[in-house]
Amino acid sequence: MLDLYSPGTSVLHRLSPGVKMLSMALGATLLFLNQSLLITAAATLGILALYPVARLPLTKAAAQLRPLLVIFALFFAVQWYFESLTLAAYVVLRLAALILLASLVTLTTRSSDMIDTMTRGLRHLKPLGVHPEKVSLAISLALRFIPVLAQITTEVREAQKVRGLERSVIAVAMPMAIRAIKIADDISDAIDSRGYRS
Amino acid sequence: MITLNNVSVSFGERVVLNSLSLTLTERRIAVIGANGSGKSTFARLLNGLALPTSGEVIVDGLNSAKKGRELRRKVGFVFQNPDNQIVMPVVEEDLAFGMKNLGFSKDDIAAKTDEILARYNMSDLREHPAHLLSGGQKQLIAISGVLVMDPAIVVMDEPTTLLDLRNKRRVARAVAALPQMVITVTHDLDLITDYDRVIVIDDGGVFADGPPAEVIAAYQELMA
Amino acid sequence: MTTKDIVYIALFAALTAALGLMPPIHFAGAALPPITAQSLGVMLAGAVLGAKRGGFALLLFIALVAVGLPLLSGGRGGFGVLLGTSGGFLLAWPFCAALIGYLIENDSAAGPVKTGVYVALGGIALMYAAGIPWMAFIGKLGLGKSLSIMVAYVPGDLVKVVLATLIARGLRRAYPNL
């Protein structure tokens, strides 16, 4: 399935997903602990500098921030008006740094590799009653049925269009939920009849 | 060999099958009947997806109520809608799903995947996302996912209902070439003209049972 | 957990993703993020599947978003969204679904109004209780200001509560043994 991964062979692409996720968590925590504008600005530049390292164009970095420009502007204005310009800059830069850092992980790591890392990590939770095989079945099923339900959404919206209801949430959500429940029985029968032990 | 002894199935008040007794040994058996006649339930009895309310279903000595897991291993089941049968996002993962559940080795899984994809001319679809397959490809992948588990018997519940004529024929050819015993529940009378035995289920009981020509004629009269 | 439970969890995660394809409703020009149908998935999962399965369905959904699948309305995904301004709302989704499921499971005789209140408690009260402090923290905004931003979303969320209640009650009647 289509993910937000941007194919490549850079050092960052080759780094193991676990290391990347842990570094991201550490980086995000440090960004929150730090209160200085200067350090935040330096961190933002540092993270931006990693984009060329990952052979990602800076336009890619800009694309990560674009959907948030409005909210950035809102936060900046509120902080500037009620507090200070410094705080306004700090808040927006910190947010930008967080997004850029997280996106770097997303852009350089295949979803499937991250899923593998996570399910492997779940093995350590077995004593707590977690069943990694069940989790990975649930993940696979969700990946399998997202496009199926998306297709059903399109079909239902087209059918409702004839009645002028394609924007009506209830006219779309209700039949979708019914379809989802109907196919659930078949799917679990299919899984059981193919030798799955639950 | 499949034996049904006095099998009845009811859901609450509604009796779906009423004390059926049958012995199935032929290589190609078709089950036909109107919508709601109980033929789908009949198919599901054969691999233990449905259990009799009374009576028993015995497949090669295995009682479906007691040996469900062994039975499902022996009897492969192909559903009407392959979209609900293909459970993994990518073709090769889906083919591997059943084999992994049965504990096949990695090498076995790879070899069987190669073989089945080559058999149906679908080797290029190995890493294809399942949702992008055409209807005919989906049904063949669904059938393949069952065949790689080496079932002794294959039960199909309306395998061609959702297909166009060309894909119906493709699936029919694939089914005809199987060495296994095949039991097909269907509305598609063209599919079963060369079968060994046809059983008509009507109103929860057997209405006709015998070679295709005369049974199909009786069925057409019943539906008229 | 039976095979069917796993299937329901996966399907409601997929349903939440598919609801993200409904066109969003822009209500404040470009000034605020639009209202999406996606949180309807949270309410439905809780109200239809119950606490455990509903909570896991949304946990699965959020995990898939985290690993970079573009499943949020508008094709967004990745850790960035979860750390961003609306991250608190998103991370709360599994708990919101679980709370709705828990309240409804413990009062199976509830009428439509009471069911609606339960859906609102999880789908609005808890979601805002997690999302607003997060927004305040991320933006160093203070609770008051964050709260006033979110007031704009209350009417839309109330509509979703009504829809989720109607759909869930309809489904429960059609499939009593879910």
CATH number at residue B194: 3.40.50.300
Q: Which positions ≥6 away from C2 have C-beta within 8 Å?
A: A188, A198
Q: What's the pLDDT score for residue C86? A: 86
- B2-11: strand order across its sheet: B14-24, B2-11, B54-59, B62-63
Q: Which positions ≥6 away from B151 have C-beta within 8 Å?
A: B73, B74, B75, B76, B180
**Is A2 inside any structural domain?**
no
Put simply, the answer to whether A195 touches B149 (Cβ < 8 Å) is: yes
Q: What's the pLDDT score for residue B120? A: 93
- Does residue C29 register a pLDDT over 70? no
Task: Please state the rounded mean pLDDT for residues B214-224.
Answer: 90
Query: Does the CA dihedral A10-A14-A17-A18 come out positive or negative?
Result: negative
Task: Please state the rounded mean pLDDT for residues C157-162.
Answer: 91
Query: How far is the C-alpha of B55 from the C-alpha of B208, rounded, in Å?
Result: 21
CATH number at residue C109: 1.10.1760.20
- The tokens of C124 are what? 């609005």
Task: Please state the rounded mean pLDDT for residues B7-35.
Answer: 93
For strand B75-78 and strand B205-210, is the pairing parallel, antiparallel, or unpaired?
Answer: unpaired
Question: 3-class DSSP state for residue B64?
Answer: coil
For strand B28-32 and strand B197-202, is the pairing parallel, antiparallel, or unpaired?
Answer: parallel
- Closest alpha carbon to A100 in A34, A36, A27: A27
Put simply, the answer to whether A192 touches B86 (Cβ < 8 Å) is: no
- Does residue A167 register a pLDDT over 80? no
Q: Give the residue numbers spanning the domain of A180.
A: 11-193
Tell me what the pLDDT averaged over chain A comes to: 89
For residue A141, which residues of chain B lie inside 8 Å, CB to CB?
87
Number of domains making up chain B = 1
For residue A193, which residues of chain B lie inside 8 Å, CB to CB?
47, 49, 72, 76-77
Question: 3-class DSSP state for residue B55?
Answer: strand
Question: 3-class DSSP state for residue B156?
Answer: strand
| Residues of chain A above pLDDT 70, percent | 97
- Does residue C31 register a pLDDT over 60? no
Task: Please state the rounded mean pLDDT for residues A160-168.
Answer: 78
- Note the residue count of chain A: 198
Q: Give the residue numbers spanning the domain of C70.
A: 3-174
Provide the residue type at B123 as one letter.
S
Query: How far is the C-alpha of C113 from the C-alpha of C115, rounded, in Å?
Result: 5
- Does residue A111 register a pLDDT over 80? yes
Q: What is the pTM of this model?
A: 0.88
Q: Which positions ≥6 away from B169 have C-beta within 8 Å?
A: none
- Does residue A2 register a pLDDT over 70? no
Q: What's the pLDDT score for residue A126? A: 86
CB C94 within 8 A of CB C55: yes
Q: Alpha carbon of B91 to those of B132, B137, B149, B221: distances in Å?
A: 10, 10, 15, 43
Q: pLDDT class for A135, splitting at 50, 70, 90? A: very high
How near does any CA of chain C get to the CA of A3, in Å? 5
Question: 3-class DSSP state for residue B29?
Answer: strand
- Does residue A169 register a pLDDT over 80? no
**Is B57 inside any structural domain?**
no
Query: How far is the C-alpha of A102 from the C-alpha of A98, rounded, in Å?
Result: 6
Select the residue of B69, B84, B102 nearest A190 (Cβ to Cβ): B84
Put simply, the answer to whether C23 touches A75 (Cβ < 8 Å) is: no
- Does residue C27 register a pLDDT over 70? no
Task: Please state the rounded mean pLDDT for residues B17-37.
Answer: 93
How near does any CA of chain A get to the CA of C87, in Å? 11
Q: How far is CA A95 from the centre of its chain?
A: 16
Task: Please state the rounded mean pLDDT for residues C10-22.
Answer: 91
For residue A4, which residues of chain C lie inside 8 Å, CB to CB?
68-70, 77-78
Q: pLDDT class for B195, splitting at 50, 70, 90? A: very high
Residue pointed to by tokens 């093995």 = A123
Residue pointed to by tokens 């009504």 = C162
- Does residue C161 register a pLDDT over 80? yes
- Does residue A198 register a pLDDT over 80? no
Long-range pairs for C170-177 at CB < 8 Å and ≥24 separation? C170/A174, C171/A177, C171/A178, C171/A181, C171/C48, C172/C48, C174/A178, C175/A181
- Does residue A102 register a pLDDT over 80? yes
Put simply, the answer to whether A144 touches B97 (Cβ < 8 Å) is: no
Task: Please state the rounded mean pLDDT for residues A135-141.
Answer: 93
Q: What is the DSSP letter of C34?
A: P
Q: What's the pLDDT score for residue C134? A: 92
ipTM confidence score? 0.91
Residue pointed to by tokens 């439905």 = C44
Q: What's the pLDDT score for residue B77? A: 95
Q: What's the pLDDT score for residue C78? A: 87
Rg of the Cα atoms in chain A = 22
- The tokens of C81 are what? 């969204």
Q: Alpha carbon of C145 to those of A195, B91, C136: distances in Å?
A: 56, 51, 8
Q: Give the residue numbers spanning the domain of B167.
A: 26-48+69-222
Give the number of other Cβ atoms within 10 Å of residue B206's Cβ: 17
Task: Please state the rounded mean pLDDT for residues C18-28.
Answer: 77
Per-residue model confidence as pLDDT tens digits over A3-12? 788 888 999 9
- Does residue B112 register a pLDDT over 80? yes
- Conformation bin of residue C153: beta by default, left when phi > 0, alpha when psi is -120 to 50: alpha
Number of domains making up chain A = 1
- Does residue B24 register a pLDDT over 60? yes
Q: pLDDT class for B79, splitting at 50, 70, 90? A: very high
Among chain A residues, CA nearest to B47: A193
Highest mean pLDDT range out of A72-81, A83-92, B147-156, C101-110?
A: B147-156
Task: Please state the rounded mean pLDDT for residues B38-63.
Answer: 93
CB C84 within 8 A of CB A94: no
- Does residue C34 register a pLDDT over 80? no
Q: pLDDT class for B60, splitting at 50, 70, 90? A: very high
Task: Please state the rounded mean pLDDT for residues C84-101.
Answer: 94
Report the run of H or E that residue C135 belongs to, with start and end.
Answer: helix C127-139
Higher pLDDT, A71 or B123: B123
Task: Please state the rounded mean pLDDT for residues A127-148.
Answer: 91
Select the residue of B83, B88, B146 nearest A148 (Cβ to Cβ): B83
Q: Alpha carbon of C92 to those of A43, A123, C56: distances in Å?
A: 29, 25, 12
For strand B2-11 and strand B54-59, is the pairing parallel, antiparallel, or unpaired?
Answer: antiparallel
Please report the DSSP string for chain A in residue order.
---S-----SHHHHS-HHHHHHHHHHHHHHHHH---HHHHHHHHHHHHHHHHHTT--HHHHHHHHGGGHHHHHHHHHHHHHHS-HHHHHHHHHHHHHHHHHHHHHHHHS-HHHHHHHHHHHHGGGGGGT--HHHHHHHHHHHHHHHHHHHHHHHHHHHHHHTTT-TT-HHHHHHHHHHHHHHHHHHHHHHHHHTT---
CB A76 within 8 A of CB A68: no
Q: What's the pLDDT score for residue B10? A: 92
Select the residue of C7, C78, C139 nearest A102 (Cβ to Cβ): C78
Task: Please state the rounded mean pLDDT for residues C145-155.
Answer: 84
What part of A 104-133 touches C (C-beta under 8 Å)?
Answer: 105-106, 109, 111, 114-115, 118, 131
- Closest alpha carbon to B61 in B165, B152, B170, B177: B152
Number of domains making up chain C = 1
Report the run of H or E that residue B19 belongs to, with start and end.
Answer: strand B14-24
Contact status of A93 with chain C (Cβ, < 8 Å)? no
Q: What's the pLDDT score for residue C30? A: 53
